[in-house]
Amino acid sequence: MSENNEKKVHGIVAEYESVDSLLNACRRVRDAGYKKTDAYTPFPVHGIDKALGIKPTVLPWIVLGCGLTGTITALVMQIWMNSIDYPYIISGKPYISLPAFMPVAFELTVLFSSFGAFFGMWALNGLPRFSNPLFTDPRFDRVTDDRFFLYVDASDDKYDETSVREIYEQTGGEHIKTVIDDDSSDKIPKPIFMAWGLVIAASVIPLLIVLKMRVTNSESPRFHIFYDMDFSPAKDAQQGSTLFADGRAMRPDVPGTVARGESNYDLDFMTGVQMEKLSAVDPPRAERLVRLTAGPIGPQDGTVGVTEEKEEDSAATTEPKATDTTPWLTKNPLGTSEQVLRQGQKYFGIYCSVCHGMNGGGNGLVNRRARKILSPTWIPPSSLHQDSLYSDQYPDGKLFSTISNGIRKMPGYAGQIQAKDRWAIVAYVRALQASRNASVESIPEAKRPEILEKLEIVDQQLKEQAEAEQAAQDAAKATAADSK
Residue 386 inside a domain? The answer is yes
Give the tens place of pLDDT for each residue, 156-182: 888 888 889 999 988 888 888 888 877
Average pLDDT over residues 248-273: 72
Task: Examine the domain organization and report whether 450 and 413 are in the same domain.
Answer: no
Quote the CA–CA distance of 92 and 353 in Å, as a whole number. Answer: 9
Q: Which of 324, 251, 260 is nearest to 292 (CA)?
A: 251
Task: Examine the domain organization and report whether 407 and 457 are in the same domain.
Answer: no
Answer yes or no: is pLDDT of 36 > 50: yes
Residue 257 inside a domain? The answer is no
> In the prediction, which pLDDT does 319 show?
46
Task: Examine the domain organization and report whether 356 and 422 are in the same domain.
Answer: yes
Percentage of the chain beyond pLDDT 90 is: 18
Identify the domain containing residue 483 by its residue range. Answer: 446-484
Residue 381 inside a domain? The answer is yes
Quote the CA–CA distance of 318 and 383 in Å, as a whole number. Answer: 10
Residue 49 inside a domain? The answer is yes
**Greater confidence, 135 or 480?**
135
Task: Examine the domain organization and report whether 24 and 109 are in the same domain.
Answer: yes
Name residues whose C-beta falls within 8 Å of residue 50's C-beta, 6 or more positions apart in sequence: none
Residue 226 inside a domain? The answer is no
Give the tens place of pLDDT for each residue, 89-119: 887 788 888 999 999 999 999 999 999 999 9
Least confident span in 19-28, 73-82, 168-177, 448-457 = 448-457
Task: Examine the domain organization and report whether 426 and 471 are in the same domain.
Answer: no
> In the prediction, which pLDDT does 261 show?
60
Number of structural domains found in the chain: 4
Average pLDDT over residues 330-352: 87
- DSSP one-letter code for 232: S
Residue 477 inside a domain? The answer is yes
Task: Examine the domain organization and report whether 11 and 118 are in the same domain.
Answer: yes
Task: Examine the domain organization and report whether 148 and 280 are in the same domain.
Answer: no
Task: Examine the domain organization and report whether 456 and 359 are in the same domain.
Answer: no
Task: Examine the domain organization and report whether 360 and 428 are in the same domain.
Answer: yes
Average pLDDT, the chain: 80
Last residue of a domain, one of 141, 170, 187: 187
Helix axes 419-436, 338-347, angle to 10 degrees: 100
- DSSP per residue, 24-92: HHHHHHHHTT--SEEEE-SS--TTHHHHHTPPPPSHHHHHHHHHHHHHHHHHHHHHIIIIIIS----TT
- DSSP per residue, 340-377: HHHHHHHHIIIIIHHHH-TTSSS--HHHHHHHHTT-TT
Task: Examine the domain organization and report whether 116 and 196 are in the same domain.
Answer: no
> Do 354 and 411 touch, CB atoms closer than 8 A?
no
